[in-house]
Chains A and B, each alone.
Chain A
């Protein structure tokens, strides 16, 4: 696992490695893990905080969490730490948001996935394709005479590396990358603690 991404902007190689993006030099890619009640309209309120502070969201994933009735948002963005802190505080201020925290890549386990649709006639012509797929630990999950679909799970940079390699040989028809999903490495489940604490104060 490449932990250097938390020091994005220092590698100087912005185009392929995924460590940094042009225009984000000196900024860090933060992952925000946000929990809210499952009410409509909260995603709007959360994204509006980023818009107001002029921070672009790099990726976003929303799904039900392990706690019934609680939704989890995984959002990544480039910014500096004071901004990450301010964003999470302003998000947590929303009435129905339970918790908002920010993490660097060394504090969380990360996963992304991608699907790459490629032209079957073109990959049959190019002997390298199957080698590239195996080298990247990707899988071919669909093959028909017109197109094939390659699936890959992993880190952003591994996925981008596979995509760029295939794209360079001109076989890609479609490419989609999922938002990042992440769980914390901490042994303490902050949300559970928070909810327990709140239940105690409700009853007191």
Chain B
């Protein structure tokens, strides 16, 4: 039965229809009719007022990443919408399902440079899966349903709905819409039996296979399928930054993290394997290093849901385009049970070398100031490796991802492709809503924290139980490391004078503590985890620590530096 309601009310009902429970947002002029409608939906739509629109999108991303649901942000036109742009680009490159609804001036005023009018569609089209302007109330139900279908299907991504004010106030005979088919859009292709058979044959014939595990495995909810796949053919695997929790850290076939600051063994062995099997990863330059020398000796199979990823960076011998939950299972069924003992044993010397040269000194230093690595590992162990890791960007991110351990899926929330400083704090807020039953631990530097520090206000208001571990080194540490290594130690604007973070936390009514001595670390972490709600643990870490190992930019994947000269 149709009911005559406003476009704004139609939006509320459409969101509820799509299963939305939580919205992160910030009101403003051009979205006021929608906020007025929201006032009557306080029971079915929980709106979280952030302190800046960038916070809304990153929170929606954090929510989506841990829950697997579509994150939703709602902001006003012009500056409100523009403040979401970084988060939208971040969600696009990291394949995060998100719908951003922004107000827009009335259709009659479009293109007249009206107050707070920005061409949002023009700006966001290149960084969204779909961007659509709702110009009349009749389109609301259809557009919202289409937006959610596009955001979550196939390779997920962000969608922008630019909601003109006249469409918010206009009346419509509302009828729920359900879009689950778009003829120009085939979100998931299914590879032929021939392709599946060929993939299995290549794997069965390989004596030195290496699997690269990407976030696609998490997005496709294919952790079990991946495990069976690698176990049956006894294939060692490395994980990308975003794929870290797709395979338990302590799985015997998990050889560690790939990439510039990943583990030595999987990076070196990439250039020794005879078959490279990439699953749901996109051969980012931070993973491959110099493409001209990358895995040239190996045949390459690429499992991906997105046909445009095939042969984009690395030329593949066989593409298996489809949903890896389906394709991995189909290939696994045709695999011979194998044992690659000799090949696997080849990883050990590299692992031992890294352990001795890098990991041991990072985790168990005998003296000197606190190190980021030991803080990360101590927090991970104190949560029995069950927590959600959220990081900001920089050294905190690399140490966080290197030394945190994972037992469960959907446990890494970090800005991979975009490398957005300031992502961490709001993303962690979103993660607490996406996984309320889990502990959410954020590692953030003194640089990144201050980029979105206003979200402490959101934490205060929501009592969002974010455990903030501030790794304070009084530097923009990652840039400082590069300056040290590649710019002749010229520390151009990387040292930073910091405020008193404990006082800031206290102003926001967030309990806080600072650790400077190694002997106090374990106790402080226990206190943080025991405390209900949010907590800020500031760790005064070594100022000029370097993330190692490192593949210098443009170097070969097997030429990792284990020390900085």
Contacts and interface: CB of A to CB of B under 8 A. Distances in A.
Nearest to A37: B184
A36 B185 CA distance: 11
A44 interface: yes
Contacts of A89: 307-308, 310
A195 B183 contact: yes
Contacts of B125: 41, 44-45, 48
Interface string A164-204: 00000000000000000000000000000001001101100
A90 B312 CA distance: 10
Interface string B395-425: 0000000000000000000000000000000
B121 interface: yes
A86 interface: yes
A45 B184 CA distance: 15
B311 interface: yes
Contacts of B186: 198
Nearest to A70: B184
A85 interface: yes
Binding site of A, secondary structure by majority: helix, strand, loop or mixed?
helix
Nearest to A89: B308
A52 interface: yes
Interface in A51-106: 52, 82, 85-86, 89-90, 92-93, 95-98
A95 B184 contact: yes
Interface in B140-177: 150
A48 B182 CA distance: 22
Interface string A11-42: 00000000000000000000000001100010
A90 B310 CA distance: 11
A86 B130 contact: no
B311 A198 contact: no
Interface residues of B, number: 19
Contacts, number: 44
A95 B126 contact: no
B184 A199 contact: no
B128 to A, nearest CB: 10
Contacts of B545: none
A52 B182 CA distance: 26
B115 interface: no
Interface string B298-320: 00000000111011100000000
A96 B308 contact: no
A37 B146 CA distance: 15
Nearest to B159: A95
B122 interface: yes
Contacts of B181: 201-202
Contact of B184 (A41, A52, A85, A96): A96
A36 B308 contact: no
A36 B307 CA distance: 18
Contacts of A36: 184
Contacts of A90: 308
B129 interface: yes
A46 to B, nearest CB: 11
A138 B355 CA distance: 78
A50 to B, nearest CB: 12
A190 to B, nearest CB: 14
A41 B128 CA distance: 13
A177 B494 CA distance: 55
Contacts of B129: 95
Contact of B308 (A37, A44, A93): A93
A201 B311 CA distance: 28
A82 B183 contact: no
Contacts of B183: 98, 195, 198-199, 202
B126 A52 contact: yes
Contacts of A201: 181
Top-9 shortest CB links A-B: A89-B308, A198-B183, A98-B184, A95-B130, A93-B308, A95-B185, A90-B308, A202-B181, A96-B184
Given A45-B125, A92-B307, 9 more contacts: A45-B126, A48-B126, A82-B311, A90-B308, A95-B129, A95-B182, A96-B182, A96-B184, A198-B186
